[in-house]
Structure 1
């Protein structure tokens, strides 16, 4: 069961998906291992992808995912088959039940069943609700609704990270000028009224795990939507169908730049088009 904090939406940020080449997922680079405790995940039920997890104390997790076979035939028809490895490709919200998204039926498909087999042999099952055709994956979040207990999918393990990461502070989505207002309308349907000012922003809940804490000390994650404005933004759009895409995420970390002698100090993470910022605050 999710623990929902007080915001204007019934949904909680669930996880963020980062696509990697299989060889990188199998042997994560130092830029990741210096920052995170990386847990084994498993193979998805479709037999096409597998993952590893970085589980944060807030209950949100980063899902590092790869295709088992890096071929056009294997990727054909897969909802992430057109995505570019080495980038943040999608993000998911969770809710108490599938009924919570009935008001979004104009923009989202009917829920479909998914799952994966853990390395310990246990089966994990869920429903996912994807945006309707015409909306590129990652432009808006999809939804995940657990069938089996969430603890099977997101075990409360490996919560201590060398970087001190606790939760997701911010998600930045860039969009074309032509799609900006349309996406803002969709986001308001999901998250409620945006906060005043530019860029447009919303606050979304985070789940909590046993023994965990919430990022921003209980105030959730900021979702920011802004117009693409430079060459890097344009590259993000090109990789995401030309509508919008996640440019970067920022993680909320305990401690200030090296004052904790037991914490490994890492800079903001950069690998290919993956951008993960680290925001340090006092414990």
Structure 2
């Protein structure tokens, strides 16, 4: 019997900061009460990262370019790679979120999504899976496969849909949940409660239909005409399901309006599950985090 392929298993969330700022961003996240683990430099040498790992197996990736564009000779291959990187046109903040991929399956996830999107009459296409990787500070080489929407690198609208990251090497190498202290945080965080994507009224319905195709036909929970949600799975063990929430932009909220004007529909905030007694929200260097008590 073939294995069930899930496309709604949350893998990680990407937080971008300016070039060369991974260590500074790591310190800022530590001040918010997170335990931060050094990650390493990616295989192309263009980006470096650090990780915030939760006990449910999901993690935050704190990423920055290693150098600004001006570092590279204008006619060099490195300059072309840097200026055409998927994050090159993105503002700092929550730039992307990933679901767990499934390398080596007979019918790739990209093909499954594209077939459903075509059947629904949507202008949505995921690119074929491509290899990726990075080297950890301890020298261990990690390998994975990525598929993402073909419009992923666009300035506007490239961050409303997930990409997929599937491990070729063991996921335990990429996501170090052991020793257990790696997932212990001073702020009591133990998982993701929600991701909130916001969209203008003009594209809300289309984004909802696109997400339905990405989640292999799973329709949204309609909380209201301006708020749809999908239940997500996690890679590890947990007694909760994160929610992907799609909201129409709040026209009374200047921060949301500014975000949509700059980015189009995209990931605006994340909710982190913390111990009871902690609530409210905080600002990372460039993104919003909502504290969600475990009892909520």
TM range (shorter): 0.7 to 0.9
Match of 2:221 in 1: 195
| Structure 2 stretches lacking a partner, 5+ long | 73-78, 115-123
Q: Which structure 1 residue ranges, 4+ long, deviate > 6 Å from structure 2?
A: none
Cα distance in 1 for partners of 2:139, 2:228 equals 44
Match of 1:170 in 2: 194
Cα distance in 1 for partners of 2:100, 2:222 equals 25
| Structure 1 stretches lacking a partner, 5+ long | 258-265
Counterpart of 1:69 in 2: which secondary structure?
coil
Match of 1:117 in 2: 135
User: Structure with the greater relative contact order (CA < 8 A, sep ≥ 6): 1 or 2?
Assistant: 1
Note the 1:1-283 alignment, pairs <5 A. 9-22=6-19, 24-28=21-25, 31-34=28-31, 35-71=33-69, 74=79, 75-85=82-92, 87-97=93-103, 99-105=108-114, 107-133=125-151, 136-157=157-178, 158-191=182-215, 192-198=218-224, 199-208=227-236, 213-214=237-238, 217=239, 219-229=240-250, 230-240=253-263, 242=264, 244-257=265-278, 268-281=281-294
Cα distance in 2 for partners of 1:80, 1:66 equals 9
Cα distance in 2 for partners of 1:46, 1:238 equals 31
Over the residues paired in the alignment, what is the CA RMSD in angstroms? 2.3
Change (3 A) 1:107 1:269: same
Q: Output the TM-score relative to the length of structure 1.
A: 0.84
> How far is 1:231 from its partner?
2.0
- Contact 1:256/1:282 (8 A) holds in 2: no
Paired residue total: 259
Q: Output the TM-score relative to the length of structure 2.
A: 0.80
Cα distance in 2 for partners of 1:56, 1:183 equals 28
Change (3 A) 1:193 1:149: same
1:76-124, CA deviations, whole angstroms, 9 ceiling, x for partnerless residues? Answer: 1000101112x11000001334524422125201011110011011110
